[in-house]
A and B are shown apart, each in its own frame.
Chain A
């Protein structure tokens, strides 16, 4: 499902060029789950962005759902995301002016799904929010907002789901509920899951685990490498 070869990222800063990601390689089979952990500034989010096609690497190759992301332009990557990718964010990223139902409908409408409303209602029901369809984000608790975000992510039935610190803004109890929900849906849908977290408990639930530090992979499934280039 996901194959990463020698991916690196350099950015221009006022102090000169900075390498924020160094030669990352791994691959992930369809239906598998991967946790990316590391301290703040270790390059987790940059890597997630590149894996999901939100950003392009400075070097290396990323293949997602059988397509080379580096060969695609911005429109092509958007089309790939539309067909295969779902997201869950730390700050939920719900549009404040839209109800819970409308937030879930949005990606379906963008992709021209005809029964967007029914589908969105089904997924909101699956995350236990059938009573909250017409509520606006500010009328929902943090946990409820993240459940809406999860419903939105799964509603378009993606092949791969990227989650960026999905429990980062939640208390531990709510976070635990959200994790259960995420993994339940993941199993039911057979979705590949890539999540960025610094919660060890969450990382332990994933089949694979990638540890980052200073833009390099320093550990993969318990093995530590000096070169930071590991494959399963």
Chain B
């Protein structure tokens, strides 16, 4: 603990990461309170105030139908964080369990599971999610399914590699000799040793899921209008470059801040916990 505190204190960047992520989480949680125009999250049209540059009542300006960009970004953070939480909550347990099985049980399990993982890993992540969404309706739920489908193999491979190393360790042998069940050895003995790497990767991935999700909606394959989403806001705004620059710059900056925050924390955690490379 003391060591962790020392590392944190000598790592102002990690502190910055904690600050950024706290800001993003608070923005999303308190959007109803903070947002100057909460109703602008939906299909509102205000032709009096359309295309207003940043300033005055509109901190980040307004879009082509007069909605306050700042308010929409706050609500868009909700979608981003929800996406990150749901995807990781589903993908990590699946990936970790399969990785433990492949690494610990060996034999046919290892061969079969790792070949399937190889297949998933040999399509660029974004392309896999795109092709899944290509045949489904672009909704938030399907977006989550698509991103989850591309995510679990990375955890399988990470945990598989650690498990293979740990399998030969004395404590595993000791548990086996005392007659512990396979499930006990995998989840109670080996898993705790994978945790530092998993936690580090999850922190980095929280940012990465937000990034991929925004990429999907940027291509029109994620959350659909009028729900605000950072990726689709950038796509929409890019059509009005360079005059209404704020329409794409602020949502882009919002993505950068959130992902940067998670990356800073993940990087710091890696120093503290060790963990994946």
Do A and B truly interact?
Answer: no
The interface of chain A, by Cβ under 8 A from chain B, is: none
Q: Residues of B with Cβ closer than 8 Å to A?
A: none
